[in-house]
Amino acid sequence: MASPESLMVKQLLKAQSAGQGQPAAAEFSIEAARQGLEMLSALTPDVSDVQVEKTAIEGIPAEWVSAPNAKADRVFLYLHGGAYIMGSCNTHRYLASKLSFSTEARVLVPEYRLAPEHPFPAALEDALHAYHWLCSSGYQPENIIIGGDSAGGGLTMSTLLTLKENGEPLPAVAVLISPWTDLAGTGESMETRKEADPWLSPNLTLEVPVMYLREIDPKNPIVSPIYADLSGLPPMIVHVGNDEILLDDSTRLVDRALSAGADVTFKIWEDMWHVFQTFTIPEGQQSIDEIGEFVKSKLR
């Protein structure tokens, strides 16, 4: 049964969505969406004892988030969500802090370039650049975790697929939180979960990708990993909410990965919504703890 805290948050999200309606892309304000996500993240508390250090990856703004128990040689490259059009270190600092504790890793959050100002392949180029920078800085691939939420989860897969295609060493483990893996929006949950989803709009989820893709086919495997060959990838953990329209982006990805022989741990969280781990609810902490246990079991 869902906790009282999660029920309260869910009701607030539903009320907010009802008040805003379901606008079409033509009525969508990118600046308002970016500001709204920043304001939402301001409601999360600071995590005590976590060190935050601003940095730059050869021009890409980034942030190190390090819990006291983080191992010096272990790093988590975290790619934030936000539909490729919003999100920042600010919006994901709380989640990065909790993940640093649970995985015992320093977390590096790059502010990859956002669409529509910087459409595909800008975000992917920046993610690859951040990974290469970590490797050149002395971190060994076997001690690197890569992961992200929503669009950041899809970007994680795109990064892994590109590294694999190039024959480069892969990170040791991947963490996918409500990953957005089908920019064509063909999953049945787009319809079956639209009434249950307190946060995401099917209309916008179907229409916004053009801001990132421009003329790219949304079923191109490099932008929609649900259509890719998923063999040869590192162990991965996927957590998704049962009450989100992107549920099938996870279920189908996991099915394809398992069919390709991948090592996958998968959990669907009942009564939970998209990236519920960003909220201060018991279920969010439990998910983060389980992710940490999985990661530590795969690293030396």
Does residue 274 have an active-site annotation? yes
Order across the sheet with 105-110: list the strands: 51-57, 60-66, 105-110, 71-79, 144-149, 173-177, 236-241, 264-269
Q: How far apart are CA 111 and CA 88, in angstroms?
A: 6
Write down the catalytic residue from 66, 250, 274, 283. 274
- Alpha carbons 76 and 96: distance in angstroms, whole number: 9
Q: Give the contacts of 54 (CB within 8 A, at least 6 positions apart).
A: 61, 62, 63
Which of the 8 DSSP states describes residue 207? H
88 annotated active-site = no
Q: Choosing from 66, 150, 201, 287, which is the catalytic residue?
A: 150
Answer yes or no: 150 catalytic. Answer: yes
Torsion 19-21-26-32 (CA) sign: positive
Sign of the Cα torsion 138, 67, 163, 211 reads negative
Distance separating alpha carbons of residues 148 and 92, to the nearest angstrom? 10
Q: φ and ψ at 232, to 5 degrees? A: 75, 15
- Candidate list 100, 244, 250, 287, residue with the active-site label: 244
Catalytic positions: 150, 244, 274
